[in-house]
Structure 1
Amino acid sequence: MSEARIPPSPTPDPSTRAFWEGARNGQLLIGRNTQTGRVHYPPRPVCPFDDEGTVELVPASGRATLYTFSITRAKTPYVVAYAELEEGPRVLTNIVDCDFAALRIGQALRLTFIETEGGQPLPVFTPA
């Protein structure tokens, strides 16, 4: 396990404010089309699949599978990965609190949060 990297703070705008509020409340919010039920990430006001229905924000379960990853060997190494949420969407994220050499494609992950430079919680994943 490596020294923890502290990422820069996000800059919320009106379209992402609810997502970051959800993170403050310990939730990873995804978008769901109210008519079709299709979910997407990152959440946005318009469904990327069709223009039917409206988009609502719903909390993800926090369970995911490691889809792919890369270890960035900077001054403070960290893992950049895609986690496939149990609900379907893939999330570009970091994997934290783990032995980088033990990571394997397909392994179970769970949601956790780390603080950014400005204190905003950031959703990331750790091995389950």
Structure 2
Amino acid sequence: MTAGPQSTAPRTGVPPLIITEDNHFWFEAAKAGRLEIQRCAACAALRHPPGPACPQCRCLDWDTIQASGRCTLHSYTTIYHPKDSAFDYPLAVGLVDLEEGTRLVADIIDVPPTELAIGMPLEITFGEHAHGAILPQLRRPQGDSR
């Protein structure tokens, strides 16, 4: 048995973004420095990640609200390997509870992993990632009295 042809193209662990009719608003808002959340037009349930139907009532109609950007660290992990040139290591990735009630996963910046604690306040900021995408990032609140 012989192996098939091997690619010599450089590999990166960062998959390309998949923009759909249901999530394009989210990426456009991120480019403008805003975090928007889908809201069901029928029952007003908020949902993230974006999707075509409300998970509560299955309604296909929705609008968006702008999130405050305030959040609390629910869980996190620190990634040390495998290393990819698209990221700085160690890479802390957090799951946060947004003030509005939904959750979001994003890179944590400007907080050393040893200083992270479940329940700590964070806020959303935006930064450029692989493929030129502008995506949410998490950081300590700037000028917040919480």
Amino acid at match of 1:103: L
In the TM superposition, what is the alpha-carbon distance from 1:9 to its structure 2 partner?
Answer: 4.9
Q: Tell me the distance in 2 between the aligned counterparts of 1:42 and 1:101.
A: 28
Counterpart in 2 of 1:90? Answer: 103
Counterpart in 1 of 2:51? Answer: 44
Q: Deviations over 1:106-128 (max 9, x none)?
A: 01010011101222201121122
Q: Tell me the distance in 1 between the aligned counterparts of 2:35 and 2:51.
A: 14
In the TM superposition, what is the alpha-carbon distance from 1:49 to its structure 2 partner?
Answer: 1.1
Counterpart in 2 of 1:105? Answer: 118
Change (3 A) 1:9 1:27: farther
Gaps of 5+ in 1: 1-6
Q: Secondary structure at the match of 1:118?
A: helix
1:66 aligns with 2:79: no
Amino acid at match of 1:71: T
Between the aligned residues of both structures, percent identity stands at 31
Q: TM-score by structure 1 length?
A: 0.85
Q: Tell me the distance in 1 between the aligned counterparts of 2:58 and 2:98.
A: 23
Gaps of 5+ in 2: 1-13, 84-88, 142-146
Q: TM-score by structure 2 length?
A: 0.75
In the TM superposition, what is the alpha-carbon distance from 1:53 to its structure 2 partner?
Answer: 7.0
Counterpart in 1 of 2:140? Answer: 127
**8 Å Cα contact 2:52-2:60 kept in structure 1:** no
1:78 aligns with 2:124: no
Structure 1 runs of 4+ aligned residues shifted over 4 Å read: none
Q: Tell me the distance in 2 between the aligned counterparts of 1:108 and 1:8.
A: 29
Q: Tell me the distance in 1 between the aligned counterparts of 2:114 and 2:136.
A: 22
Q: Secondary structure at the match of 2:26?
A: helix
Question: RMSD between aligned alpha carbons?
Answer: 1.7
Structure that is richer in strand per residue? 1
